[in-house]
Chains A and B, each alone.
Chain A
């Protein structure tokens, strides 16, 4: 189920401006890859291009290839909606649907697409997703209460449950813990380590310690200069990147000399 991603010479443009330049990397299935780097260096832009969410911004376009298990996401006749059904996303601020109950939120990926399913099947999927997101015990008695009645950390785990309910091959996470307190953050980091067994996970994070704790592979992005596009500077095994990076800029960032 979890798939590998191969990015080849990806350039991301907003209109005529080049935002991210020449990114090439491979992401192994069933692994966690962390994208780190200073603000504005293109990590989130790159992440969003992996499930074609950057297209929501007018005039955003891409040159290059993103291959998921051999299929190019940017081939001419590819439907972005179909791409997103296989590559899910969790956002920085928890965004459960306010008009829906917890149950409906988790089932949203299925219900909103009007897929016909027996209630018992749906119940099973909701329970399984909430269990995988480590939220089942906390909400199993109030599945019909609104999704916004939970704490921030619980809401984020609800959003994760919502994303995994549709069994995507890849899970993209855009700074999922930056709006949360340390205890919720730890719960979600533990969750990521568990989810690794079934999903390919790519996580953008500003928190280098989090990247070190959670990921197998780390990719360091940086701007070439002020007003220049972002670039992939170095990618490698997390332990190596944090102890003996090959690139001077990586080392400077990791030791806090800038960023």
Chain B
């Protein structure tokens, strides 16, 4: 094998000095060009004698094993790794990697690392002039609990700041649970010419007893009476923006879903699931009517179920 003198002698790296000598003699005996006219034998002999020349000297062998010289005994040039240069400060090829134009973090970035010339291939970092010290103010991070309706409709609330005083916060319409609101410049004061930091509010939306939200759609279970279900009706259904008239179709049933288009959040829909609720007490009239009715109108809603 080219490049491996041990293989040329049919050995591995663990071979002893005596084994190296023995292996070379064995090849010399069979493959010497003066004895064996086969060109392949000549090749084997050449390779083996070159390998033997290298490995017979213990110091040379050590240097080869350590990678300091190659199989021909030449000094190996020191390998250069670009990363050593690329990571270093002042690398002439240093480039931006996306924070310079970042709406939230560009100030934080340039505060920590200075500004690189745009588009890369600049001269590394700009030196800070003089002795004065400039630093952007601290970012504040708060958790803000918002009730369901305020989150759905938007609104205003006040938060108190760690350094005293309070701050009016506008909650955008349709804010989602876990969403962050950024209040630019409402963080701590900067130093020198550094601007103030920002305040970040992570919103958690409290659940509502009746409404449930998925994305921009609102889900509501609407109780209806027995007679509304049988005869159909127009009832007022609550939505996040106030009650809306909803037509219950004749013969409506529990679990039936009606859609109020555009009555969700930011153009989403509200889905109403109907739920028939019995009167608080089944009176004699109702019981009597049902007894008569079922004699001739019995039906089996459980048909097809495997019970």
Tell whether A and B belong to one assembly. no
Chain A positions within 8 Å of B, measured between CB atoms, are: none
